């Protein structure tokens, strides 16, 4: 059984932790009930003290005495809404410590899981269907001309590339935790690093990019920072007209390196700006531009900037274009 010794009094613990905290005696009776616990459960502290969970809730699953700690209990409330609350359970000096979480938090996690599955499934379904259809056509029609076969194989190759990009973005999103992200740092020329980033841009789009890069050396993980810049450039090209330019500038300012990518495209509405760096978030411009994507590029770019001790910021308005700026501290 997991043991946890708490050497501070409950009042001090309550001041330090915003979650709903409850302690139980070895007999399972409530010995402390935080104000947050009263808010979450709808049960006042005075009504909770000295009572068991079975007395306070309509049902507790699993029963407290059978809970393997640490574990999660589900408690159904007695009120008219019959809400389900979850509590993490730890053993404390023969008694119990419970931390209640409002059901909304668990609902939000479930919604996020559904959105992730829905987004990924939708984006992967189209290329998989195309590959299957054209492969079946090739197999069932061996009399096709060489030109037809070449066309079908090119389509299969293109759709396979889309799947590769999807997998790479999902893997990038899974590994971008700032504290674990940087495997190495190198001192490199920023211009060469930007060349590496632009090598990922389709050749026909390179003519749209206007570069103004100072002679700067940076101490970074070059592969990761190139990935962040490439994601931002790809977005800028994707959400602006094919005859418009994308400006890529890099300079130093008071000990800070600024890498700025500006487009003259459709922009982003104010209500979407707080959310565009979240996983799988796609704003209305994604739909209006009829672009494919996974809502991961900006998230990955921001986490890479954070891992370098920097930031990624955006300034945008509908029909006025967008400017994304990576700011990194100079490191010698």
Can you read off the two tokens belonging to residue 48?
């909770």
- Residue 128 class from Cβ within 10 Å (0-12 exposed, 13-18 middle, 19+ buried)? middle
Please indicate, yes or no, whether residues 194 and 323 belong to a single structural domain of this protein: yes
CB neighbour class for 85 (10 Å; exposed up to 12, middle 13-18, buried from 19)? buried
Give me the CATH number covering residue 20: 3.30.450.20
CATH of the domain at 151: 1.10.287.130
- Say if 18 falls within a structural domain: yes
Domain extent for 201:
179-329
- 224 part of a folded domain: yes
Same domain, yes or no: 323 and 215: yes
Q: Which two tokens stand for residue 78?
A: 């007695």
How many domains are there within the chain?
3
Q: Is 136 exposed, middle or buried (0-12, 13-18, 19+ CB in 10 A)?
A: exposed
Residue 3 within a domain: no
How confident is the prediction along the chain (332 residues), in pLDDT tens digits per residue? 444 444 446 666 666 566 788 999 989 999 999 888 888 888 899 999 999 999 999 888 888 766 555 677 888 888 766 677 888 888 877 788 888 865 555 566 666 667 666 666 766 777 888 899 999 999 998 888 888 889 999 999 988 887 887 777 676 666 665 555 566 788 999 999 999 999 988 888 899 999 999 888 999 988 889 989 999 999 899 899 888 999 999 999 888 999 999 999 999 988 888 888 887 676 655 544 445 555 678 888 898 898 888 999 999 989 899 999 999 988 65
CATH number, domain containing residue 292: 3.30.565.10
* Claim to verify: residue 93 and residue 186 sit in the same structural domain: no
Q: Is 124 a domain residue?
A: yes
Neighbours of 271 (CB within 10 A): 9
Q: Do 192 and 270 belong to one domain?
A: yes
Same domain, 232 and 317: yes
Q: Check whether residue 315 and residue 192 sit in a common domain.
A: yes
Q: Where are the beta strands (DSSP E) in 43-178?
A: 59-61, 71-76, 84-92, 95-101
20-38 core/surface letters (b: 16 or more CB in 10 A; e: else): bbbbbeeebbbbbbbebbb
Using a 10 angstrom Cβ sphere, with 0-12 exposed, 13-18 middle and 19 or more buried, the burial of residue 326 is buried
The phi and psi torsions of 39 (rounded to 5 degrees) equal -65, -45
| Residues 74 and 166 both lie in one domain | no
For residues 232 and 282, state if they share a domain: yes
Query: For residue 276, which phi and psi values (nearest 5 degrees)?
Result: -70, -15
**Structure confidence at residue 290 (pLDDT):** 46
Instruction: Find the Cα–Cα–Cα–Cα dihedral 235, 240, 243, 245, rounded to 10°.
Output: -60
Exposed, middle or buried by CB within 10 Å (0-12, 13-18, 19+), for 124?
Answer: middle
Residue located via tokens 């993490």: 88
Instruction: Choose the final residue of a domain: 140, 175, 210.
Output: 175
- Would you say residue 5 lies in a domain? no
> What pLDDT was estimated at residue 103?
53
Residue 36, domain member (yes or no): yes
Claim to verify: residue 201 and residue 96 sit in the same structural domain: no
Verify that 263 and 302 share a domain, yes or no. Answer: yes
Q: Is residue 4 part of a domain?
A: no
> How many secondary structure helices (H) and strands (E) does the chain include?
11, 13
Q: Which of 85, 101, 117 is the last residue of a domain?
A: 101
CB 103 within 8 A of CB 83: yes
| Alpha carbons 113 and 178: distance in angstroms, whole number | 22
Say if 2 falls within a structural domain. Answer: no
Q: Which of 122, 152, 175 is the last residue before a domain boundary? A: 175
8 Å CB contact between 218 and 182: no
pTM confidence score:
0.56
């Amino acid at each position: 059984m997991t043991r946890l010794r708490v050497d501070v009094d409950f009042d001090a613990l309550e001041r330090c932790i915003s979650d709903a905290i409850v302690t139980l005696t070895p007999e399972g009776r409530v010995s402390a009930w935080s104000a947050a616990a009263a808010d979450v459960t709808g049960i006042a502290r005075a009504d909770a003290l000295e009572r068991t969970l079975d007395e306070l809730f309509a049902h507790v699953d699993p029963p407290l005495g059978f809970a393997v700690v640490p574990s999660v209990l589900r408690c159904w409330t007695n009120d008219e809404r019959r809400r389900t609350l979850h509590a993490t359970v730890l053993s404390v000096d023969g008694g119990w410590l419970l931390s209640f979480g409002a059901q909304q938090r668990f609902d939000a996690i479930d919604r996020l899981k559904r959105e992730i599955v829905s987004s990924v499934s939708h984006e992967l379904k189209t290329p998989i269907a195309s590959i299957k259809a054209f492969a079946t056509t090739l197999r069932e029609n061996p009399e096709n001309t060489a030109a037809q076969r070449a066309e079908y194989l090119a389509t299969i190759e293109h759709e396979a590339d889309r799947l590769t990009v999807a997998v790479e973005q999902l893997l990038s999103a899974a590994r971008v935790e700032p504290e674990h992200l940087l495997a190495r740092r190198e001192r490199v020329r920023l211009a060469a690093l930007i060349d590496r980033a632009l090598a990922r841009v389709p050749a026909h789009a390179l003519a749209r990019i206007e570069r103004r890069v100072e002679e700067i050396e940076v101490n970074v993980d070059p592969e990761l920072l190139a990935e962040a810049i490439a994601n931002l450039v790809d977005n800028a090209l994707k959400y602006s007209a094919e005859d418009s330019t994308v400006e890529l500038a890099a300079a130093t300012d008071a000990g800070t390196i600024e890498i700025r990518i500006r487009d003259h495209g459709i922009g982003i509405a104010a209500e979407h700006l707080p959310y565009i760096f979240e996983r799988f978030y796609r704003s209305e411009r994604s739909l209006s531009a009829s672009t494919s994507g996974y809502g991961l590029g900006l998230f990955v770019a921001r986490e890479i900037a954070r891992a370098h001790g920097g930031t990624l910021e955006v300034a945008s308005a509908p029909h006025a274009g967008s400017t994304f700026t990576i700011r990194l501290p100079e490191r010698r």
